[in-house]
Amino acid sequence: MTEETLNENILNETLKHLKEEYEKFSNENKIILDKHRELKKSFCSVYGVIRLLDMMLNIMNLDIPLDITNQIELLRSYSSDIFERQILEIEDDEE
């Protein structure tokens, strides 16, 4: 076996290994992206329920203790910030 043939074999094995590693990385990346998308969808659902609850409290004027109303408003505000920073910002990056 000549040195050139040996180098070609080494190169071919290296390329084969790199291709396998890239495919493995691509598969893992797809799984992570899919999980991330599902997490975003779940958070959007939770955020929607929180907003509905907050709107219902404002519309219905029920005799609900102030500390509970304040906690719901705080939760809505906090989840709104998360939605804007984490969900909407990521959507802009993906386009």
* pLDDT tens column, 5-62: 888 899 999 999 999 999 999 999 999 999 999 999 999 999 999 999 999 988 887 8
The whole-angstrom separation of Cα 10 and Cα 38 is 42
CA distances, 80 to each of 1, 10, 15, 61 (Å): 67, 55, 47, 22
Q: Check: CB of residue 40 under 8 Å from CB of residue 87.
A: yes
- Give the count of domains, the chain: 1
| Model confidence pLDDT, tens digit, residues 68-92 | 889 999 999 999 999 998 888 755 5
Query: Who contacts 86 (Cβ-Cβ below 8 Å, separation ≥6)?
Result: 40, 43
Give the domain range for residue 35: 3-94
Distance CA(28)–CA(89), nearest Å, equals: 23
